[in-house]
Chain A
């Protein structure tokens, strides 16, 4: 029942090797966190999965080797990537952003229903449905980015630093909504998050990356029990 499996994945930007042996596995409907210091290769790991950076090793999704596919091909297989920096389409309205998310889908009514669901999930967006995304606040943009990813009805959601640059309260709201999304839709997730408290509120297991390699993997409870993890990521 493994949905996504990474074995010894490597990736580099030009001559600079950024990840060098990342392995992780996400079960159907599961949620895995990726922790690690800045530069440990968390974002690059997500990019390797979504095909936005060229990778080596094995990346298997739903039993199929997806390494080397273009980002749009990966998306078409059911992987939605909410990139670092949100990637909302600034000149398009909130509704249009959501519709772009549903680009590969057919069925007007189902799509309309999902737009409603997004607005229900993120009520702040309802009032701003006609505004351009560039005019939204950071928190609203993040909500929109998650909403747009959901609109594709993916089997797997890649979430990169959804709390980055947000006020603590806003970040919490965003994560609560994502948690609800996970419970109600059963979408599997890979969550990169600097704030481990937020990550642990969402995921079942987590992988710690260290300088581009998988250092250890454990359940949320196991990891929370480790002194070093607590000191490094949980602020205590």
Chain B
């Protein structure tokens, strides 16, 4: 505590964060239960179109979530996520056509996407930053003509359709409601898994690799293996999203995995909030809702308004929509007492891996050497004497 510089942020944090956190817990549980109830009851009271929209949000939220794991959390640019969505969709369509058990189809959709992702990652993760981006660009670029070519599996340019999500009679539900529950189940499971993943040991490894690969290596975290893992997990989520896509749309074609869609997924991830689980859900909603909205306003202006919305959101919230509450709190908080108090505790995985530039600068400025305190003490003596003198 002798160094007031390092003591300052420490003393601020517990005071400002702790009471909020304990107050949050009960509030959070109540909110979670409420959300769960709403999510469960909603489809029974909503028109089919609304249900279908929610279903599509779930589909793309899973894809964005996967992208977030490899990009938002691990910092590896991936421009090919849509390829895995398409792959999952094709596997599902093929499996359903063959009359396989639907659970098996789901597992295969995830597994095949995961294996392909693993193979790509084994090669791509050797490369740094932009090279990975370029290798992943190739996936949808090559994927589309390939899907057209492999007619036996994909139905060529015509695409392939498969129905397997008609509501069974015993359920008494309409098809859109049944689909909703399937997708809610898979999406919720996916989000829970992802949340546990990024909060656990591997999540910390992702964070360190994103921050600094050299530091990661020095901590015994293999950047290569971590990147491969993140990429593979992302692909599995992509495959799952593909399965859901087919469950919702019941049809897929080469267009599903076009490069443009991959870019839109990326935009949705950043708009929602990179490195945020909740942001992935917002990203999925953005992906689905904004085209609906702009189309409704004026179909002739769809593209312009989409571009404009994207830029405006990023200008106002460079960290994505998920940062909106934080930004609002900062703005309202500025008028009150504490202007710069850190609102959010960043899960800093290790010393030297601070996640904000400020923290980094602070770090270099104050990197402690063992005998620092001794020196400090000496000087304090020194000044003490000077003052008296």
Give me the interface of A with B, judged by CB distance under 8 Å: 13-18, 36-39, 41, 43-44, 84, 208, 210-212, 215-216, 226, 228-229, 231-233
Contact = CB atoms under 8 A, between A and B. Distances in A.
B10 to A, nearest CB: 11
A84 B364 CA distance: 10
A37 B382 contact: no
Contacts of B378: 228, 231-232
A15 B358 CA distance: 9
Contacts of A216: 382-383, 386
A178 B76 CA distance: 44
Contacts of B340: 14-15
B342 interface: yes
Contacts of A231: 378
A38 B386 contact: no
13 contacts: A13-B358, A15-B339, A15-B342, A16-B9, A18-B5, A18-B365, A39-B368, A210-B379, A211-B4, A215-B386, A228-B378, A228-B379, A233-B375
Nearest to A39: B366
A36 B380 CA distance: 11
A14 to B, nearest CB: 4
Interface of B: 3-6, 8-9, 12, 339-342, 356, 358, 361-362, 364-369, 372, 374-376, 378-383, 386
Given A37-B372, A44-B365, A215-B386, A17 B380 contact: no
B49 to A, nearest CB: 47
Contacts, number: 77
B368 to A, nearest CB: 6
A212 B342 contact: no
Contacts of A39: 3, 5-6, 365-366, 368, 372
B386 A37 contact: no
Contacts of A215: 379, 382-383, 386
Contacts of A13: 358, 361-362, 365
A203 B5 CA distance: 28
B365 A229 contact: no
Nearest to A84: B364
Contacts of A212: 5
Contacts of B376: 37, 210-211
Contacts of A18: 5, 362, 365
B386 A16 contact: no
A41 B379 CA distance: 14
A7 B4 CA distance: 22
The residue among B4, B8, B341, B365 with the most chain A CB atoms within 10 A of its own CB is B365
Nearest to A85: B364
A157 B234 CA distance: 51
A210 B342 contact: no
Contacts of B379: 36-37, 208, 210, 215, 228, 232
A208 B383 CA distance: 10
A44 B362 CA distance: 10
Contacts of B6: 39
B5 A38 contact: no
Given A38-B372, A210-B380, A216-B382, A16 B362 contact: yes
Contacts of B364: 84
A208 B12 CA distance: 28
Given A16-B362, A43-B365, 9 more contacts: A13-B361, A13-B365, A15-B12, A16-B358, A38-B368, A39-B3, A215-B379, A226-B382, A228-B378
